[in-house]
Structure formats: C-alpha cells, structure tokens
Structure 1
Amino acid sequence: MIYPIIKAFGDEVVTGEELPGEQITDEVIQKIADSDALIGFLTRRGNPDAGGVWKTHRWVIEEITTAINNKKKIVEVRETGVDEQGGIVGDRQHIIYDESARDKCIVEIIKTIGKWHSIERIKLKLLPEDCIQEIFPLLRNADLRCTYKIMTEDGEERAESVTKVVSINPGGLFLQKMCPASHLYKCTLNIRGSTGSQVMRLQIPSAFI
C-alpha cells in the first residue's frame, strides 16, 4: 500500500529484503547509505509475551540504526503492541500502525513524506546548455541580477527572491541560494535591460524504504 504513495511524490522506492539471519547485509547497508530517507516497518513477530507485547524483526531495527548513523531522514511505522525498544531507536518519533485503522497510518505517512519534501533544499542548476554559454561571459558584470520565483501547480507565482549565479566546475552554473526541492521555478537574469528567463522542474532524490 505504501509504494504508490512514495512514487506519487516522484520518489524512487528501493526495498530492503527479509533476512532469516536477522542481520542486514553489506548490500542493504550500502543501499541505505546511498538513499535520502528510510521508512522502517516494525511489525509483530511471533507471539506476545505475558504482558501482551510483541517482538519485532531485529534486521529492521538494524536498518533504522544504520540510517541514524548515516544521518538520513527516518520514520518508524510501529504496529500496535510492538515493544517500544527504547534507546537509539525507541526514543525517536514514530507512526502507529493499527490494522483496524490503516487509513490513519497512511495519512500520517503522507504527511511525513510531504514534510520531507517541503524542507528539502538543493542547488538549482541552470539549463539548457546554449543558455549557459550566453550567461558565462556575464558572471563578472556588476550589473547582473538574478531572481527566481516558485511557481505553483495552478500557475501562480510566489514572491520573488534574489540570489547569485555561481560557476561550479565541472558541474555548470547554479543558483547560489539553496532552494526548496520539487517545485517549478522561473529564473530571470537581468542586466541593463536585457532579460532571459527559463522554467525548470526538480525532483527529490530517491527514498529507501
């Protein structure tokens, strides 16, 4: 049920694997290191103890711990009745999964991914290349002014922001200011009355779940 939600945000789903030995492999560790976020599902395993508390899969806890050590964005989806674990994993914010109220869990996951997208900031690269070749000679011009606007899906433009254009070799030209990801941008360069504009769309990097 979760894959279509993640893909709807424009993210790539990279799954781990069920591990009989309960220890994650080097391949899974590398997948987490290469990803931007992790959603860990702590589901019931076996039978409950005398207090009605279930254990969960150790390898999922190890995945979450690996993500923490790699400073990734994380959310735990913990099934009701599962041991809260404590320590480095258990003290973090989590989403409750109740089989009888799955819709509430889905809503919280959507809100979490949406928040990740809203706070994600990246550098914007200017395209296309033929436009870049025209801009390069102007970078040292003191009259060069660069502004950008975030454009909503219904075509409205938000307030204009001022930034600079910087050259990063061998990457190309970028806006100096870090900008929210997953938006449409209208970038305008002004120099003594000469104006060029372009619209670009950027997607958030892949997510590991």
Structure 2
Amino acid sequence: MHGLIISEEVSERIKKADGVLAFLTPRDAMVSGKYTTHQWVRDELVTAINHRIPSVEIREKTVDTQGGIVGDRQRIDFDLDNKAKLLVELVKMLSRWRRNLKSRRLFLMPRDIVQDARRFINSENLKCTYQFMTGSKESEIYKAKPFKYGQGLCVDIYNVPSEDSLVEVTITGPQFEWSSDYESVQFLSINLQKI
C-alpha cells in the first residue's frame, strides 16, 4: 500500500474480498480483567458487514464484549493456549464458505434468449433469479446478473447446497420472461423456455 491512504485502500480491498476473518486479540488491560482489542480490526469487520461480505469475528476469550453492530453475530471464541482447537473450527468454517463462495457458471440456452435479454444486460429492467432444490426442499431465491459470453449469455450461481442439488433459473425483462425447469447443478448449460 505504499503511497496510498491506508484506511481507503483497506476498505477497497475488503469490498473486493471473498470473505473476512477478523481476529480480535488482547490489546490493553481493563480494570475488569478483560482486554480491549484493536479498533482497526473492529472497523474492518463493520466494513465487511456493511458491504455484505461474508465475515466472522474470531475473538480471544479475554477480549471484552464491546457490543455495537457486530455484537449479536455468531462468532468463534478461542483460547491462545489452545490454537489447535481454533484451527479445527476454522477449517470447518472455511469448507462451508468455500462451497458458498465458489460459483458455478451456467450457459443460458436456447440462443433465442439472447435476442430478448442482451440489449437490457446493463439495465435495471433485466432481472435474474435462481433457486435450488435439494431432495424435495426448495432454497431461498437468489439474485444473479447475466453477462455476455461469446455470442450468448451466462450467469454465475453461488450457494450451491450439494452436488446432487437441482437449480431453476428465471430471467425477466420489460416484455418477456424465461424460466427453466429444475436441472442438475452439474450441467454447464441450463435450458429456459419463454413464458
């Protein structure tokens, strides 16, 4: 960050991050026997939360609970004398994050959809959503942004529950709507029908 304004650059890097792990470690002793922590780390965590970046507070057990916007979120507590337990918790959490952060790219078929949707690609008028089905249980509905790819359109989907899940994609514009049936998340393309 040589020559850059550190607070601005840190904020920009957080906004581009896949996730934030905020380690709150002891800093200054308090009368209560607890410790304060680094304000920078708390600010970085709040920045991640405000920009909806996946984030988790990892707080050493002697650090004071200071409340605020991060006060009621699930966190990982740890003991400096038992770092092995912390590493196990981090591995579990990161494996869940990896599944949710890694995207799947779907090519939208048939090519007729390109004629309807492509001119609205950078417009608020084009909406794209997707939903998973695992077993007989449907997930919440997620938003996506289609993008031009070669002569067609693609969409990146996230939060894939499992490899045997199905996905349904819907695209709506000013005077059209295309929707797929549920298809395997393992397919590289998804077929939509005009409604």
User: TM-score w.r.t. structure 2 length?
Assistant: 0.56
- In 2, the alpha carbon distance for the partners of 1:79 and 1:96 equals 6
Shift of 1:172: 5.6
- In 1, the alpha carbon distance for the partners of 2:9 and 2:156 equals 35
Q: How does 1:181-196 map to 2 (within 5 A)?
A: 185=186, 187=188
Which residue among 88, 101, 107 is the counterpart of 2:69? Answer: 88
Which residue among 128, 152, 157 is the counterpart of 1:178? Answer: 157
Which residue among 32, 38, 45 is the counterpart of 2:20? Answer: 38
User: TM-score w.r.t. structure 1 length?
Assistant: 0.53
Q: Which residue does 2:176 correspond to in 1?
A: none
- In 1, the alpha carbon distance for the partners of 2:190 and 2:75 equals 44
Q: What letter corresponds to residue 80 of structure 2 in structure 1?
A: E
Please report the RMSD computed on the Cα atoms of aligned residues, expressed in angstroms.
3.7
- In 1, the alpha carbon distance for the partners of 2:44 and 2:188 equals 40
SS in 1 for 2:23: strand
Q: What letter corresponds to residue 157 of structure 2 in structure 1?
A: M
What are the Cα deviations for residues 156-195 of structure 1, in whole angstroms up to 9, with x where unaligned?
A: xxx9xxxxxxx842566566683539x89464899xxxxx
Shift of 1:73: 0.3
Distance 1:173 1:123, change over 3 A: farther
Q: Which runs of 5+ in 1 are unaligned?
A: 1-15, 17-22, 127-134, 141-158, 160-166, 191-209
Shift of 1:84: 1.1
Which residue among 14, 28, 50 is the counterpart of 2:10? Answer: 28
Q: How does 1:105-120 map to 2 (within 5 A)?
A: 105-120=86-101
Q: What letter corresponds to residue 169 of structure 1 in structure 2?
A: K
- In 1, the alpha carbon distance for the partners of 2:67 and 2:157 equals 36
Q: Which runs of 5+ in 2 are unaligned?
A: 113-134, 136-145, 164-184
What are the Cα deviations for residues 40-87 of structure 1, in whole angstroms up to 9, with x where unaligned?
A: 0100003x2221110000000100011111111011111111011102
SS in 1 for 2:81: helix
Indicate if the aligned counterparts of 2:111 and 2:152 stay in contact, CA closer than 8 A: no
Which residue among 44, 49, 63 is the counterpart of 1:63? Answer: 44
SS in 2 for 1:65: helix
Q: What letter corresponds to residue 38 of structure 2 in structure 1?
A: H
- In 2, the alpha carbon distance for the partners of 1:59 and 1:88 equals 15
Shift of 1:118: 2.4
More strand by share: 2
- In 2, the alpha carbon distance for the partners of 1:52 and 1:171 equals 62
Distance 1:174 1:116, change over 3 A: farther
Q: Which residue does 2:121 correspond to in 1?
A: none
